[in-house]
Structure 1
């Protein structure tokens, strides 16, 4: 194994003292009994990684400092811990994994809601409170890890283990019937996957974004109609016309409060759904009378648990749904962040480790 001869590795670490990234040399960790040591093949950037650099009131907590960023990756097992869960993995397995660790994985909250609400209160998130995945090796919890389906490319799979699981459940948790209308708000890193999942589930899809390149991506992924809500002043009216009165569900993948404020106007009155996925810096404002009178419903969908990870990944493999990934070197993570902040990125951006 590569890490036996090597004791240190490179890592892109966020330092709160200067609010910047530093490419540091740090020790390669050793797996505990419930963990597997993975050589990272691809780590991809998610919008919540960028939130570390911004003031926010949405509960994003930094733990150790400096901390390796990144919570979306795929890689190859190089060593397994001695526990029963870890020993199911063998050297050379291509795997993906989720970032919640130190939780029990067994309480009702862990099994059915999210590991963040584990009854132990001890949950930590790799990439935020513990070292994440923009480093050459990482120890991950075996219970939140799975072997990739046969034929899935380990170099491309990384975004499926946050963006993919999130987008899949954001779409499927709307519980629409084939032929119903869905608006996907934000057609970038999450949304371009959301469009693919929605089309594979048989929905009619409207893509909404503020950049033309994201809308081009949505069209490539199969969106039936796309509108630029920044440029087209009549976009809401056009959505109502195309859908004959509004969409059955609007799934918001953006971090824009304005897009949340604008969404109810395009939802079909009575039983239409606003699905909350993206997290703006500011708190959302909802009209209590609209909710009380059933003008529309509000639901949330999170980035998944080890229990709902497999259906998302297996659906992706079955329908050949993969992220459109632009690749970079580890040294270029600051450039990736800059592109994400300036809305110039298409699809997902990731580091491929040689």
Structure 2
């Protein structure tokens, strides 16, 4: 990692000009009226952070360059802006937050769909179009922030504020009944949480991955069966067999287009659902006849808004949903990215700040 030092707090920035990370120091930011200054305790790496380094056709773009990456963090309040919404927080509060900013939070899209489609067209995402959270201090929007429930530690809870909210709604939005079968595709950073949520909701779970260490993690999280879809040529037949005809829902947390292509073969015919969560580099290709004739249904689930964040976080605290984390130092972020790209990571990789 290249280093360039200025005054202030440490942070890691991505620069598209050389497609690299640079560790530098910058002044501690000041919160605006509706913002909170947070001392970051924990920031975790998400696959969409890594997508900055690779070509993609899914609309993931930078709004500024260079940019501090990271959109998943927890920390403690240092000070607040002067507005009413920010005044609801106190210095020392342990908080988590989401990354959408500069949107209105009041239009139908913000309330019911996602802030990305805000009617103002002004939405920015911290970590992509604005500076994110792989830094010691960050300003966040008070409207997207909540005090952590009892039992959640800001040093370890960061993955819940993207991966957790995403996994929770990816599972819950399938609307299964207890006892039905769910296949979780990708048992890593998102999937290991999805398995915990699914089991807490009473579902039976098949875990699918291409890495044996991720499947071991899936077993620890409660998966009833696990299969390696890379090394086991008969995995689709086995999934259909153990589920008695196919999964009632397949939730795909991966960025693999092939895993989407393979999914229809393990969905219960005429009754099953494919839940789209992971974003491959290439657009998905679906058989229109399958959809038109009702072979299976398709649905999507996003990474959350301030309106559906709280239920996911409170459910996590109530059911002791724990991200399985491995901690690194800020200067080790390139190593974290390398481990993610090589499928050697277990659970979620985080940077913990002193």
> Is the TM value for this pair above 0.5?
yes
What displacement does 1:151 show?
A: 2.1
> Could you say what secondary structure the match of 1:193 adopts?
helix
Structure 2: how far apart are the matches of 1:69 and 1:144? 18
Quote the residue 2:148 is aligned against. Answer: 148
Measured against aligned partners, the alpha-carbon deviations of 1:329-354 in whole angstroms (never above 9, x if no partner) come to 01100000000000000000000001
> Could you say what secondary structure the match of 2:250 adopts?
strand
Mapping 1:269-280, distance limit 5 Å: 269-280=269-280
8 Å contact 2:7–2:25 — kept in the other structure?
no
Quote the residue 2:73 is aligned against. Answer: 73
Structure 2: how far apart are the matches of 1:224 and 1:151? 27
Cα root mean square deviation, aligned:
0.8
Measured against aligned partners, the alpha-carbon deviations of 1:100-137 in whole angstroms (never above 9, x if no partner) come to 00000010100010000000000000000000000010
Structure 2: how far apart are the matches of 1:267 and 1:40? 41
> Could you say what secondary structure the match of 1:90 adopts?
coil
> Could you say what secondary structure the match of 1:128 adopts?
coil
What displacement does 1:85 show?
A: 0.5
Quote the residue 2:291 is aligned against. Answer: 291
Mapping 1:160-239, distance limit 5 Å: 160-239=160-239
Measured against aligned partners, the alpha-carbon deviations of 1:214-255 in whole angstroms (never above 9, x if no partner) come to 000000000000000001110000011111110000000000
What displacement does 1:152 show?
A: 1.0
Quote the residue 2:24 is aligned against. Answer: 24
TM-score w.r.t. the length of structure 2 is 0.98
Quote the residue 1:250 is aligned against. Answer: 250
Alignment of 1:52 with 2:52, yes or no, is yes
TM-score w.r.t. the length of structure 1 is 0.98
Q: How many residues align?
A: 349
Quote the residue 2:130 is aligned against. Answer: 130
What displacement does 1:7 show?
A: 6.3
Which 4+ residue blocks in structure 1 deviate beyond 3 angstroms?
A: none
Quote the residue 1:3 is aligned against. Answer: none
Structure 2: how far apart are the matches of 1:321 and 1:150? 13
- Unaligned 5+ residue runs, structure 2? 1-5
Measured against aligned partners, the alpha-carbon deviations of 1:18-59 in whole angstroms (never above 9, x if no partner) come to 000000111211000000000000000000000000000100
Measured against aligned partners, the alpha-carbon deviations of 1:154-180 in whole angstroms (never above 9, x if no partner) come to 111100000000000000000000000
